[in-house]
Amino acid sequence: MLHRGRRSGHRLIAAPREIVRDAFRCLPSVEALVIAESAVVCNAVGLETLKQEFSGPRDWRIARLLETVRRTTASPLEVCARFHLLAAGFRPQEEVLLPGVGRVDFLIDGWLIVEIDGYAFHSGRTEYRKDRQRWNCSTSGGLVTLRVTAEMILHSPVSFIELVHRTCRTWNPLYPRLGPDAAGAGGLGPRTGP
């Protein structure tokens, strides 16, 4: 789909507010949310301006999505992960600073860390060592860490959410057991017998 804005002698021009508006009207919600949050983080458009833009009664879904926009999100991958976690009913804390561990992308229920690993920021020897040190510190402190790839977030969000659910079922005995197979689709889960 092609949207045309005002023309200048050199290029098409559209205000950031118009670009975000059109994104919410034409793209999947998660993609529009990435565009909106990027525009807010870069100060290209104000969050309150966007909320006014989508304040009509037919815009309730978009207004609800705008409530999740953060001014400090580090990456589009984190926006996507947050979108899928919230849609699945999780209430993740974002960019939490844990003593002895450092900043983590998401913390769920105070014990489950979800780290989104894009290759560009985790491919060097220094990053590799730092990640392992943080992982060991969190595990030795009683926290569980999931390291999720960018590919999973972008191309297999259902598998991402299933992984989080399965981890919660495995490590938290109070977590609701959903469906006929409480161990999950992959047959993984806590052992109940010998």
- Return the structure tokens found at 40: 């807010």
Three-state DSSP class for 168?
helix
Q: Please give the Cα distance from 83 to 86 (Å, whole number).
A: 5
> Which residue in this structure is represented by tokens 């990435």?
34
Q: Please give the Cα distance from 104 to 93 (Å, whole number).
A: 9
* pLDDT(76) > 80: yes
Q: Which residue has the higher pLDDT, 27 or 176?
A: 27
* pLDDT(89) > 60: yes
Minimum mean pLDDT range among 26-40, 70-84, 98-112: 70-84
pTM of the model: 0.78
Distances (CA, A) of 9 to 2, 13, 51: 19, 10, 32
* Cβ pair 90, 108 in contact under 8 A: yes
Backbone angles phi, psi at 48, to 5 degrees: -65, -35
